[in-house]
Structure 1
């Protein structure tokens, strides 16, 4: 019995190693090496190719992937090469999931139209005016989409409630009234009496300033100097 997962990997590798016609003629990759022909006895399970388009968020995302994957200048897209690769992607799933491929076919029609306009001769432009580029509107939409995609990735990297952290919660009954303790009249009287007793224990210490008389201290200094020729300064303040 064939290995379904291994066979599916041949047709639907991961996004970074996809495809198919990114390497030119390669239809798939096997262990990083391009595969140019599918084995004759290869079993392809139903819907094995859905991963190609379901991995992208839409036709604009697929087109931007093809451009960035090959480092093309988005302002000068090689439309013939990109259109061929895009059509190769869509063709692989169109006959399997028509509903999914419908929106991608609309972009494919737009690419073919732009490619055709570039092949047709252009009318002479006015002197000094820049010639109109059929790719201008597509480039504008791609740049706008890429800005929104980068902004979405930055927003997704921010912490999200319920995904990266959870808010702490405490369950309680909002309608439950607090129960007061049962107290008798006698206990209330005793508590009030204790409060009054504690109030009487507080005493206030009042500090009064000593009344100093300059004349008295002058007389004290003169008495200490009588009969003494020398006197240390601190002795004047001894009681």
Structure 2
């Protein structure tokens, strides 16, 4: 059995711990262990210790002490400390967190063994709790946190497993349907135009005859190349009531022939006229 002090650098190309079945994972009191416990997890770059009573991962050593399969008095804690210091020197900076965990384990072993070696009176023996029981509780708590950390690490992580989308969403243009224009509203607009037209009929003069067909052509010319034209802007109050009526009939005829359409941006809003585009 090896009694010297050495540290295994498992990050080298040829790992010191071979696959199961080729050689034992550890040696305890001269007995080879070829199969690890199912409830024990050992990190890939675990600290390997080489003592007279034990050779193998420090995680397995603490596991056996907790299960009372190995007496802590058989363990040379000072040798573990020396090997730990060399382990820290060999570890990469990215694995320093793992080395810190082993420092806690080694400190716990040193504390428990020192308390076991100190002389105690019979009264103290009856009242004081076995320090190994405290070690077991600490190890159990350590394993709970370690397991929780492993489960958290397996969760999807932004920047490692998932990435935030960077594509810009397309601009969606929603078609806003215009409310239908009721005849009642169209007549109300006409009455307002007629009221203003009456203001220009203070005296009678002879006017030219107005043609509905000609007025239809005039309205279409005004609508060409324009999106929406206010309904009231098609009328000229200076033409009087007759001109207003002729223009109104021309608009109705254009609507009937599907040459124009009337729209409102909102209910009870201003009425607009637009030429239909085939």
TM-score where L is the length of structure 2: 0.36
TM-score where L is the length of structure 1: 0.40
Query: Which structure has more strand as a fraction of its residues?
Result: 2
Query: Which structure has more helix as a fraction of its residues?
Result: 1
